[in-house]
Amino acid sequence: MPARADSEPRAAGRGEDGRVPAPFGRRRGEVIANEPSGGYRIITALDPGGPLPAAGQFYMLATEGGWGGDGERPFLPRAFSVAEATGGAEGARLSFLLEDVGPGTARLATLTEGDGLLLTGPLGRPFSPPDELNPDAAGAILVGGGIGLAPLALWRRTLASHGIPERSLLGFRDREHAGGLELFRCSEIRLASEDGHVGHRGYVTDLLERMLAGDSARTAVVYACGPPAMLEAVRALCELREVAAELAMESPMACGYGACFGCAMPLRSGGYMRLCVDGPVVRAADVETALVAGAGHR
């Protein structure tokens, strides 16, 4: 299988697990666009000094102006998965899918063209190619819930650019908590929504259960990102059917690069990992549960 990301020309400096190392320090990116996408927003910025990230990696983001100060939240930058990344002469063009849930996302949602976006990244461990998880892999099944479809959008593009077949299952709570579908253009998508406004009425994991029942577990590989309850259902289903899986997980993150231990979570084998450096993409078999305390998306 060829190297895994859209960023092959820059792949030389990658770590063993495929991660693209972040340049030292925080950089100023410039916002190119900030568009609504259903109930979410897609913010695109030019990162002149940054490398192209691998799918599953994330950035710590803050606005150049109006972040903290005068005792106002937010104080710390916030973590966001990169949803699209393309390279050009002017640098990396990065898109983030954002749900306004608090002071940081509310401030980011107000950015306009030309505003400064402060970036640290790319950070964390990316998705692994299907044949690394299962030597008999016939393709990939991507399972996204709500805002969790962000890292899967870039992973889908990466798989497609290497001719690896993928099928995407995307689920939403309701119309207000749905968006970002344009990031999945050209994909074979099946949709679910809890309120029935689109696709199957129910959970995205209902679709996964059906798909796995029709597939051979011997050749399946699942990649999932979404709220903890959804990830836990995916993890349990894959364990039951002995299907290899990776989960892109969330936890509260203060630094994003291993210094604060705020993102520690238990390993099945004992001990702890720091989700920002040992994840956010983890092998499903390495965790007892995907229910992470403090990861608040529903």
Ligand X SMILES: Cc1cc2nc3c(=O)[nH]c(=O)nc-3n(C[C@H](O)[C@H](O)[C@H](O)COP(=O)(O)OP(=O)(O)OC[C@H]3O[C@@H](n4cnc5c(N)ncnc54)[C@H](O)[C@@H]3O)c2cc1C
Q: How far apart are CA 235 and CA 217, in angstroms?
A: 14
Tokens (6 digits) for 163: 């001719």
By CB under 6 A, tell whether 204 contacts ligand X: no
State the residue for tokens 């998508």.
189
**H or E element, residue 30:** strand 27-37
**Neighbouring C-beta atoms of residue 18, cutoff 10 Å:** 21
Q: Which of 82, 255, 282, 292 binds ligand FES (CB under 6 A)?
A: 255
Partner interacting with residue 255 (select from ligand X, ligand FES, none; CB below 5-8 Å by kind)? ligand FES
By CB under 6 A, tell whether 58 contacts ligand X: yes
Q: Which residues contact 218 (CB under 8 A, 6 or more apart)?
A: 134, 136
Rounded to the nearest 10 degrees, what angle do helices 204-214 and 228-241 cross at?
10
Burial of 150 per CB tally in 10 Å (0-12, 13-18, 19+): buried
Closest CB 123 distance from ligand FES, rounded Å: 9
**Segment 234-253, which members bind ligand FES (CB under 6 A)?**
253
Closest CB 276 distance from ligand FES, rounded Å: 3
Tokens (6 digits) for 205: 């994991």
Closest CB 220 distance from ligand X, rounded Å: 25
By CB under 6 A, tell whether 267 contacts ligand FES: no
Query: Is 52:3 a contact under the CB 8 Å cutoff?
Result: no
Q: Which of 1, 101, 106, 259 binds ligand FES (CB under 6 A)?
A: 259
Residue number with CB closer to ligand X (149 or 164): 149
Closest CB 70 distance from ligand FES, rounded Å: 25
The residue ranges that bind ligand FES (CB under 6 A) are: 253-256, 258-263, 274, 276
The residue ranges that bind ligand X (CB under 6 A) are: 58, 74, 78-81, 96-99, 101-105, 147, 150, 250-253, 280, 295-297
